[in-house]
Amino acid sequence: MNATAGPMRGVTSYGDQGFSRFLRGAFLAAAGYDGEDLSRPLVGITDLRSDYNPCHRGMGEIIENVKRGVLQGGALPMVFPTMSLGETLLSPTSMLFRNLLAMETEELIRAQPMDAVVLIGGCDKTVPAQMMAAAVSEVPVILEVTGPMITNSWQGERLGACTDCRRMWAKYRAGDIDESEVSAVKGALATTSGTCMVMGTASTMACMAEALGLMLPGGATPPSPTGARLRHATETGRRAAELAHNPVTPSQILDRAGFLNAIRVLAAIGGSTNAIVHLLAVARRAKVDITLRDFDLVAAQTPLLLDLKPSGSGYMEDFDQAGGLPTLMKELAPLLDLEHIGISGKSLGNELLDVAPPQPWQSTIRTLGKPLGPVGALAVLSGTLAPDGAVIKTSAATQALMQHTGPAIVFESSDDVAARIDDPDLVVTADHVLVLRNSGPVGAGMPESGSMAIPRKLAEQGVTDMVRVSDARMSGTSYGTVVLHCAPESAVGGPLALVRDGDLIRLDVAARRIDLLVDDVELEARRLNITRKPSAARGWLRLYQDHVLQADTGADMDFL
Ligand code: FES
């Protein structure tokens, strides 16, 4: 049997390779594999099912279809578990564990015998972690996702997770719906298997996997419960078997052209700001030179083409029915590098040859001639409050607040926000700028707490948006004039640490600036009084805090 491929690839170290192969054969035989099975190349398939991850409850069916495709392609499927990151059931934030899943996936691909691997993700951090692992894999990797949920309705109003979760919760806070109504809404927001069905982080990262060429075309949008999702899974399995016979590695796919295509798509779909951090992390691992500036430059030339929440009005099933990402990329083709070759083995130009452009019967995918929104759905800022950069999703922000100067109200943590934001004695007006610190990668694992709630007393007066600034992230399903990812973060001495209540902060998106209007002498005096908190005493959090990088380079670990 071949010692560099198939089941005898990378034998266990017992000091006697013959014995190692003998022992491995014995244990594989115990699992029911015979010579015919073991003569085939192996395709690993990840299994991220967990009762702690409701978004992955449809993953079993998808795995079965991938396996069928692998067998049809003449290879042997081998399913293995990795940790599963369920966004809503992890504390303090799933982002704290993205790098851990990336490391685990990387190491299991390397340590176990496989000639190709299918990584199946879904919920927010799983696909980014798998892409980070893919970036350093020496065996072919192909991604598949669970697909989005299908929408439901409440009192005739169409609802989906989780832009509507936030919108309905805001209505409840403003007193527009009561306790029993918000309880009924809870049962109607997330009703099938799959991931959040707006252009949140999960949907965005599925689109990024497809746009980068790590997933077969058409894979980002089919909803989880549909046959189309299962057929895509089977096709993925077949392609994985081909890759096991004739390898194409991620290093052959992940180049600057591919990343620029993905960033172009990110801007055109009004994708999650989280994708910026994740793509920077993947590019860093792949040793591809991509910086925050690339996001700003590409976004500034790319109009918003997709009418999906939170930037628009539709849901992922509408996107899918309108043709999905291939149709959007067909429209975007004049702005894409069509020579880029993805995991299908074909150039993007060839992939798009038979794809129809956006059809007149639908309004979800718009045209370059009649876009949904202007260029610049995302913007990268810098200034005295974020010397290494910050981001804002302008497509989900309020136009009138894009240039705004107001006094700061500073919150030390998410707990501080929770404790004081609704305090009737809090002196706050719609002109104030809400500042949240200690919420960057080192400070708190970079939770999605940047879109702080509008103070209840202002919400009750009809205020729906305010300028908010933090070193945190926000959910891709959120909206508002929210400046995020300020780097360097406050916990490592970034300027956010120096802000005091009443300081003026100026946001000027057109000028790409976020500034603290306090003179340097005063800031230096304040700097003398800040102290850095010690790292956690033990465990993953200790390792993370000691080694995580800042948001502007992807918040990966410095040793990876
Ligand atoms: Fe899992 Fe939204 S909570 S994708």
Residues 6+ apart with CB under 8 A from 434: 408, 409, 411, 452, 466, 467, 468, 469
Ligand 1, atom nearest to 195 Cα = 4
Q: Is the CB of 202 under 6 A from ligand 1?
A: yes
Give the pLDDT band (50/70/90) at residue 1.
Answer: low
Ligand 1, atom nearest to 86 Cα = 1
Q: Is the CB of 87 under 6 A from ligand 1?
A: yes
Q: Is the CB of 88 under 6 A from ligand 1?
A: yes
Give the pLDDT band (50/70/90) at residue 195.
Answer: very high
DSSP-derived letter for residue 488 is: S
205 Cα: distance to centroid of ligand 1 (angstroms) = 12
Predicted confidence at residue 479, as pLDDT, reads 83
55 Cα: distance to centroid of ligand 1 (angstroms) = 6
Percent of the chain with pLDDT over 70: 99
Q: Is the CB of 123 under 6 A from ligand 1?
A: yes
- Given a cut of 90, whether residue 2 has pLDDT beyond it is no
**What are the structural domains of the chain?**
13-150+192-352 (no CATH), 152-191 (no CATH), 377-533 (3.50.30.80)
The predicted model scores a pTM of 0.96
Rounded to the nearest integer, the mean pLDDT of the chain is: 95
Q: Quick: pLDDT tens for 4-56.
A: 789 989 889 999 999 999 999 999 999 999 999 999 999 999 999 999 999 99
Q: Which of 125, 196, 198, 224 to mutate to test the pocket of ligand 1 (most atoms within 8 A of CB)?
A: 196
Whole-number Å distance between alpha carbons of 123 and 305? 24
Q: Quick: pLDDT tens for 373-407.
A: 999 989 999 999 999 999 999 988 999 999 999 99
Q: How many CA atoms lie within 13 Å of 529's alpha carbon, on the beta-carbon side?
A: 8
Whole-number Å distance between alpha carbons of 170 and 333? 39
What stretch of H or E contains 381?
strand 378-383
Going by alpha carbons, the residue nearest to atom 3 of ligand 1 is 87
Q: Which of 57, 95, 120, 195 to mutate to test the pocket of ligand 1 (most atoms within 8 A of CB)?
A: 195
Q: Is the CB of 294 under 6 A from ligand 1?
A: no
Whole-number Å distance between alpha carbons of 117 and 43? 5
Lowest average pLDDT, out of 140-144, 155-159, 343-347, goes to 155-159
Predicted confidence at residue 305, as pLDDT, reads 97
Predicted confidence at residue 162, as pLDDT, reads 83
Predicted confidence at residue 511, as pLDDT, reads 97
Q: Quick: pLDDT tens for 462-491.
A: 999 999 999 999 987 788 999 999 999 999
Predicted confidence at residue 31, as pLDDT, reads 97
Percent of the chain with pLDDT over 90: 90
Whole-number Å distance between alpha carbons of 320 and 265? 15
Q: Is the dihedral of CA 435, 437, 440, 446 positive or negative?
A: negative
Going by alpha carbons, the residue nearest to atom 1 of ligand 1 is 123
User: Which of 121, 109, 74, 49 minimizes the C-alpha distance to 250?
Assistant: 109
Predicted confidence at residue 3, as pLDDT, reads 67
Q: Is the CB of 196 under 6 A from ligand 1?
A: yes
Ligand 1, atom nearest to 161 Cα = 2
